[in-house]
Each structure stands twice: as structure tokens, then as C-alpha cells.
Amino acid sequence: MTRVVAQGTFDLLHPGHVHYVEDAATYGDELHAIVARPSNVTHKPKPILDARQRRDMIAALDAVDEAHLGDPDDVFVPITRIDPDVIVLGFDQHHDEAEIAAALADRGIDCRVERASAREPRYDDELLSTGDIVDRVLSRRE
């Protein structure tokens, strides 16, 4: 059995997230989604929703077999516990595949790192990013 991990913030779940986990699921037989804790989100604004709520939302998707909260101090703790064969990064995630692969090797975790495919909007008004959703909400509340 091939175990796959997809990880992310998954804040304000949207079609881009659904595409990511569905694409990641094609890399193996069992998909584990790891939801980042706010303390680990350093490259963008902190999540709007609580980590448990984000975990529950991503767990509700058919493609996800198990959803986990990330470790607040070491992002590799759940990776070590899950012991995946493949980690699939999101299409637009800021992570560098080579750096992730090196960090995994340093920890003795033997798995490959892949990048999910992009999902283009299917119609003119479709939003595929949390930031765009937040911007639209704010513009309509002004």
C-alpha cells in the first residue's frame, strides 16, 4: 500500500484545496492530510479558522482517508508518525521540493516529494485562493 501525505493550511476551504487533495490521492492508496498549526504558518497571514475546524473540514473530503493536526513545534513529527511513501506539495505552496527531500533524508524518512498539478478557474468569477476569498468578503462588507 502506498501512503501519501498532503499538507497545508487549508483555511477557508475552496476548489483549489479540493483539487490539491484529489490530485494528491492519485499518487497512492491512502491519503493523509496534515493541517498546519497557526504557529507554523509564517509565510502568510495566520489562519482565520481554528486548526481543529480546518482539520475537520479537510477530513470531510472523500479523497482524504485521515486528517491530522500538525505539530506546533516540529512539522516533521506527523510525517515521522505517518511514514509516507510520497509527500505531494500543493501547486503553489512556497516549499522547495529539494529542501524538503533533504530534510526528510536528514531525518531518515525515505519518501519521494512530488508537486500537485495546477487547477485553473473553470469560470470567470471562481476563486481559488483564500486570500482572494477574504478580499472579496471585505470588499462586499465595505
CA 77, 81, 86, 89 dihedral sign is negative
| 16 annotated as ligand-binding | yes
Q: How far out from the chain centre does Cα 124 lie?
A: 25
The answer to whether 10 is annotated as binding is: yes
Does 91 count as an annotated binding residue?
no
Question: Would the annotation count 76 as a binding residue?
Answer: no
Q: Which long-range contacts link 44-48 to residues 24+ away (Cβ below 8 Å)?
A: 44/9, 44/131, 47/9, 47/11, 48/11, 48/12, 48/130, 48/134
| 92 assigned binding-site residue | yes
- Residue 26 assigned ligand-binding role: no
Q: C-alpha grid cell for residue 6?
A: 498532503
Closest CA to 14 of 65, 58, 48: 58
Report the binding-site residues for ATP.
Answer: 9-10, 14-17, 92
Binding residues: 9-10, 14-17, 92
